Amino acid sequence: MRILVTGKNGQLGRSIHKLVNTDTKIDNNQSSNEFIFVGREELDLSSKSSISHYFDSNDRFNVIINCAAYTAVDKAEVEQELANQVNHLAVKQLAEIANKQQTKLIHISTDYVFDGESGKPYIETDETNPINVYGKTKLAGEKALQEIMPTNAMIIRTSWVYSEYGNNFVKTMLRLGKEMDEINVVSDQIGSPTYATDLAGVILEIIKSKEFKEISQATQIYHYSNKGEISWRAFAKEIFKIAKVDCKANPITTDQYPTPAQRPKNTLMSKGKIAKTFSVSIPYWGKSLNNCIEMLKRS
């Protein structure tokens, strides 16, 4: 299979790349697959013509994994048009191309499609109600994809993604923790962190599964994050503990830390559907955090 991965310089794109190149188990299993990784230089999702040009000048792909997205949650409040182009209109265009070329599409979405007020873990069919521009554009992308591709596509919603790559909460805490004796961290937003390597592994598992290979399967939404639930403050405390950083994480409320974009309070998602459908085991967040910090120490 020819598999196109967008967002090659992002956390998830780089994590898929790392697994395809280094994990011998996955490598052996994926040996009949050719992965093509592209960034905005090759395929600019902010440009309709760049997208058409890219697919017109390349052979058909069997699968597209769309890891690229406009992910600057606060900036999206002012760059609404750009966020909408990348997270919605480009996804629509990718779906149209995938539909025409009979390509399977795996698209990554977010827990921010929910308003966080449910009080219990969200399942895939729960009502969406995004409370910021980023969430609205990602939901619009989901809807466009589902409308154009009633079959042959898959949306994986994930949350609080971190990795060895790029900018993320774990790396920010490690940096600030070394510079300061104490920091204030929001303690009333609850969710589940996702180590990008774990999500990348699951995506590769899915691609080789029997369920995925069955043609004209109905398009589905799945939720994926690590297991367990936690606040940002508790997450910060654990990061300091594992990395042996001497910094205190003081709890503050969301109101005490105003940001341009509103954040949902509790976006914990149920992962039962993806675990059951593809028989994947989902690691607890603490174990995965250990793995990531270990990787960071080695780099």
Ligand X SMILES: NC(=O)c1ccc[n+]([C@@H]2O[C@H](COP(=O)([O-])OP(=O)(O)OC[C@H]3O[C@@H](n4cnc5c(N)ncnc54)[C@H](OP(=O)(O)O)[C@@H]3O)[C@@H](O)[C@H]2O)c1
Query: Is 70 assigned a catalytic role?
Result: no
Question: Which residue among the candidates 70, 122, 134, 224 is catalytic per the annotation?
Answer: 134
Which 3 state secondary structure label does DSSP give 214? coil
**Least distance from ligand X to the Cβ atom of residue 8, Å:** 7
∠185-114-216 over CA atoms, to 5°? 130
Residue 155, φ and ψ in degrees, nearest 5? -115, 125
Q: How far apart are CA 27 and CA 40, in angstroms?
A: 26
Q: How far apart are CA 237 and CA 253, in angstroms?
A: 16
C-alpha distance across the termini of the chain, in Å: 32
Q: How far apart are CA 177 and CA 139, in angstroms?
A: 35
On whether the CB atoms of residues 219 and 151 are closer than 8 A, the answer is yes
**Least distance from ligand X to the Cβ atom of residue 60, Å:** 20
- Report the interface residues with ligand X, using CB under 6 A: 7, 9-13, 39-40, 43-46, 67-71, 86, 108, 110-111, 138, 158-161, 166
**Least distance from ligand X to the Cβ atom of residue 161, Å:** 3
**Least distance from ligand X to the Cβ atom of residue 28, Å:** 26
Integer angstrom CA distances of residue 153 from 34, 110, 207, 211, 240: 19, 16, 12, 12, 39
Residue number of the CB closest to ligand X reads 10
**Least distance from ligand X to the Cβ atom of residue 83, Å:** 9
Comparing CB distances to ligand X, the nearer of 177 and 191 is 191
Comparing CB distances to ligand X, the nearer of 111 and 238 is 111
Comparing CB distances to ligand X, the nearer of 36 and 213 is 36
Extended beta strands in 83-186, E state: 104-110, 153-158, 161-162, 182-186
Comparing CB distances to ligand X, the nearer of 159 and 262 is 159
Comparing CB distances to ligand X, the nearer of 15 and 152 is 15
User: What type of residue is 74?
Assistant: D
Comparing CB distances to ligand X, the nearer of 13 and 177 is 13
Question: What is the token pair recorded at 237?
Answer: 């405390």
Extended beta strands in 73-180, E state: 104-110, 153-158, 161-162
**Least distance from ligand X to the Cβ atom of residue 170, Å:** 11
Decide: residue 276, CB within 10 A, 0-12 exposed, 13-18 middle, 19+ buried: exposed
Catalytic residues: 134
